[in-house]
Each structure stands twice: as structure tokens, then as C-alpha cells.
Amino acid sequence: MIFAIVAILAFAAPARAQHSLKMRNNPQVLAGTILSSDGKVVQFQTTAGTIAYPLTGVESVTMPAPAELGLAQQAFQAKDYEKALQVAKAVSDKYKGLPTDWARLAASMVASIYGTLGQTDKAEAAWNDFERAYPGAGGLQARVGRAQIAAAKKDFLSAKDALAPIVEEALKQKNVPRENAFAYSQAFYVMGLVNENEGKLSDALENYLRTVTIFFHDPSARAAAQDRADALRAKNKDKKTSEQLTVP
């Protein structure tokens, strides 16, 4: 099973790009270069030297995604999962716990690729690390990740039980919260896989198309869902059930 992974468009940043760091309860925005983060402190270089700031005190960070993350995505799409894992893990390890969308996505990408490779123990450990690094909304994404693991183990009942309240809540949202957007994209894709296993092809197609048209924030989940939707339609185009696979 190919897991829907978190994806991001990454552009190469200038060699001496200036980043910014804002600490909690401090209106001043610090300018410099983020060197690394180990999950506890972020190493920040300024004209005065390198300073280690505790991540718990960091409110926000401005830094472009490393180009390597785009390379990891390309490798995954080419089904070179070992290379994708190697590159994504290098990014995630270097910027562990950094409060940016792309650092969070790199960490979830590592966990998802472990699942894709069938290394479910490592996937579970990676999701646990992810949840510790990104409490709050990160817990939702970890729950979806664990549902992915259950589906990979053919435990579709557990996957469905985990996903049902998530997709139900997502459908109530008029505006998808940014912090939940990627988790929702993945959740509907995996729910589609569960539906396929149940033989509920119409429900599967509907959930795939929800990822494609409504919860489209994760490009890789969207692409995987579109592939599954196309495959369902192609497989059933000459069957009477094809009428059941048409979703407005």
C-alpha cells in the first residue's frame, strides 16, 4: 500500500538567506540564520554569533523549505522510497521540532515512508516522535498515521474506527483549519482504502474525490487519491456497477 505522504513545494534558498525568529511574549522579531534544531533548542546565527534558543519559547519561525525536501518528494513519486526516506530523514533530523509547516511535513513524511516500506515498528516510533515534537494538531496527524499503519497490516477495522470520528468532524468544517488540513487530506484517502476493502466502491470513490476536490491540501494524498479513483472507474467502466461509481 502506498501511503499518502505529506508534500511541499520546496525552493532552493540563497546560500546566506536571512531567516527570522520570534520568541513568545517578545514583540521583537530576530533576524539571522537558522542552523539547526534538535527538538529542544534551535541554533540561531546572528551578527553577534550563534545563540541557542529553547523551542518552547519560540512562537514562530520564517524560513524557506530546504530544496532537499522537494527532492525527497520527487524520489517518493518515482517510487524510490529508500532515497526519499534518506533525504526526508536528513531534513527532519536537522530541523527536528522546528515550528514551521515544512519541518512538520518532513517529519510526517519520514513516518509515512516507513509505513510504505512495511517497517511498521519504525513507523509507529516515528509517529510517536512526531506527536511529541508537535503536540496539539500534531496528535491528529499521528492518529491518521496510525490508521495508515493499521490499514497496511490489513487491520481495516481498526483503521476505520480511528478514522471515522476524524472524517466526520472534517465534514462539519466550513473552513478547514490550516493545522488540520494535511491530516484531513490523508484521512479521506485512507478511508477510501478501507471502503475498497469492504467492497463499498461508491463510498471509496466519494472519499477519494473528497481528497481530490475538497481536502486537497496534501498534494501527494491528492495524487494518490486521484490514481485510486481513476483505477476504480477504469476497472468498472464496462460493468453495471460503474453507474454506482459516479459521484457528483
**Structural domains in the chain?**
64-245 (1.25.40.10)
Distance CA 91, CA 26 (A): 28
Place of cell 491528529: 140
Say what the pLDDT of residue 138 is: 78
Say what the pLDDT of residue 143 is: 93
Neighbouring residues of 77: CB distance < 8 A, sequence distance ≥ 6: 220, 223
Say what the pLDDT of residue 176 is: 83
Say what the pLDDT of residue 40 is: 93
Q: What is the DSSP letter of 37?
A: E
Beta 49-54 vs 58-62: how paired, if at all?
unpaired
H or E stretch at 184: helix 181-198
Say what the pLDDT of residue 71 is: 93
How far apart, in Å, are the Cα atoms of 147 and each of 29, 141, 158?
A: 39, 10, 7
Say what the pLDDT of residue 216 is: 87
Place of cell 484521512: 187
Say what the pLDDT of residue 237 is: 72
Q: How far is C-alpha 2 from the chain's CA centre?
A: 13
Distance CA 179, CA 175 (A): 12
Question: For the chain, which residues score pLDDT lower than 50?
Answer: 1-15, 241-243, 248
Say what the pLDDT of residue 240 is: 52
* Nearest one of 147, 86, 99, 102 to 120, comparing CA atoms: 147
Give 16-74 pLDDT, tens digit per residue: 558 999 999 888 899 999 999 999 999 999 888 999 999 999 999 999 999 999 999 88
Say what the pLDDT of residue 244 is: 52
Distance CA 92, CA 191 (A): 27
Q: Indicate the pTM of the whole model.
A: 0.80
